[in-house]
Amino acid sequence: MGSSNLELIFDSVGHFGRYQIFLYFICAFQNISCGIHYLASVFLSVSPQHTCRPPGNVSQVLFQDLSTWQLEDIWTQVSVGREDHILVQLQDGEVWELTSCRRFRRDDQSSLDYEYSGRKSSFPCLDGYIYDRSKWLSTVVTQWDLVCNREWFGRLIQPTFMFGVLLGAVIFGYLSDRAGRRLVLWASSTGVFLFGIAAAFTFDYYSFIVARFLLAISASGYLVVVFVYVTEFAGMKSRTWASIHLHSFFAFGTMVVALTGYFVRTWWIYQIVLSSVTVPFILCCWMLPETPFWLISGGKYEEAQKVIDTMAKWNRTRSCKLSELLSLDHDGSAGNKPSQVEKHTLSELFYDWSIGARTLILWLIWFTGCLGFYTFSLNSVHLGGSEYLNLFLMGVVEIPAYVFVCLGMDRVGRRNILIFSLLSSAVTNGVIMVIPKEYHFWLVVATMAGKFFIGAAFGLIYLYTAELYPTIVRSLAVGSGSTVGRVGSIVAPLCIYLSSIWIFMPQLLVGTLALVSGVLTFLLPETLRRPLTTTWEETEKESSSGKLLSTTSNTVLENVAVENSEDSSLNK
């Protein structure tokens, strides 16, 4: 059944009536939960100040000119640098110098001077560590001592999660085409809840990583399928806005993380609270019907007719008969199974030198968009001031970015908006690098601007990629681009750690990639009001001609969603 015939369904029952709005907000609410778990590690893996635990009971503590009786009191009175040491005297008379990763026993136990040049013996932190608990009572880092020689275990928490995101998109995208959108939405959301709760009750680091990895697979699977689900229920007139603004609910998840982190300072309680956001969707998901598109593609015409009738009843419009659109009897006895879709390989995205260059440029934009998106968010907690407010603002600024994309792409063109967003992001990264660190207010403002522009670019790249390729490889192009983008999300947390080499290394990397991507985008053709192509020959003809025809972005979203949901997603 052609997409034009399917669109007649929405002409009859309504493009985005009360029924679609009801389903949309149920599905979009779960996007908040996905946004939560994608950035929960910002506070889960906080590494507070720490020092080696001494091998006995302490009778006196000395730090420079400050003296106290309890080692834990040091953190509330002074800021201990990584290279500083804390001097303690034990009840048995031994004098120890404690650093963040080593401890030293003085041979001369009569000397309590802070500066000491005599002989001392070095020992590892075999008795564990004492942490600054003034901000966080416990984190994953303090729970399993992920510091010093185990520091990289903590740094792998977010990259392993993002690798699960990559895997989940493939698994659940495949399942949604076979088992249906509704079942996958329910299964993935149940997984988000169960694995989210399981992560809070894990007994060691490795079980925590496994639970988070399975959580990532589930959350990613939901985001893949919910985009297809929404596009298959929204009519052409509302499809672009509905699909792009699913991102806005993901942004609300970022804000929830910031608020929860501010009020809950124990990591496992924090994890439970965040995971509970999924509960309302699980309670409501039984009300979600299967999409008519998927039912029709599987020859289940009677079930599809029931959904369409329900839609018309809710929207108070006139229903339509599928038998008339399909030219078969209502019972579907004359229906045939849909024809087998020909599979295409990745090599077809390099059809010739021109198309190959186009593919590489788009992959770079996808990579830059994901890398920049998560780098700005993850790095916001290091800008100074309140880390909770900083992260909250990173979520707030995404919403106007998507409005900007929706308003601008049909007026000045997709390519122009994309170029402007990428180059503006590069400029803001450069501005961040010249702002002194003590001016944290302006650092936050500049970072918000950078997140706005990179968010706008990422919100647009899905649609733009789909419009640049013919129907035969459109889903393959979008799927490959989103896969490359997820590689960028895996690299993003590792990029943050480059600040230990130079504080502005993440901004330099993202800014450089955004600049190169923005300049290379000039080489791509504009797609505004140009018709979708079916073959490579049509694509070449359209790229070389200036002919403008009235084809809307909604048609692209429909074609990609219906053709192959396995590869198409707006997954973060």
Nearest to 355 by CA among 517, 529, 544: 544
Q: Report the candidate in 500, 15, 26, 548 with the shortest Cα–Cα distance to residue 235.
A: 15
What's the pLDDT tens digit per position in 199-247?
Answer: 999 999 999 999 999 999 999 889 888 887 887 787 767 777 887 888 8
- The burial of 69, by beta-carbon neighbours within 10 Å (0-12 exposed, 13-18 middle, 19 or more buried), is given as exposed
Average pLDDT, integer, range 3-28:
77
Class of the CATH-defined domain 349-547: mainly alpha
Over residues 324-371, the pLDDT tens digits come to: 666 644 444 434 444 444 556 777 778 778 888 989 999 999 999 999
Look at residue 459 in the predicted model and tell me its pLDDT.
84
Most distant pair of Cα atoms in the chain: their distance: 100
Q: What residue spans in the chain does CATH classification 1.20.1250.20 cover?
A: 10-48+135-254+270-297, 349-547
Distance CA 385, CA 387 (A): 6
pLDDT value of residue 497 = 86
pLDDT band with cut points at 50, 70 and 90 for residue 468: confident
Measured CA to CA, the distance from residue 290 to residue 294 in angstroms comes to 7
0.95 cut: is pTM over it?
A: no
- From the list 487, 339, 255, 522, the residue with the least C-alpha distance to 413 is 522
Q: 10-48+135-254+270-297 adopts what CATH topology?
A: Growth Hormone; Chain: A; (1.20.1250)
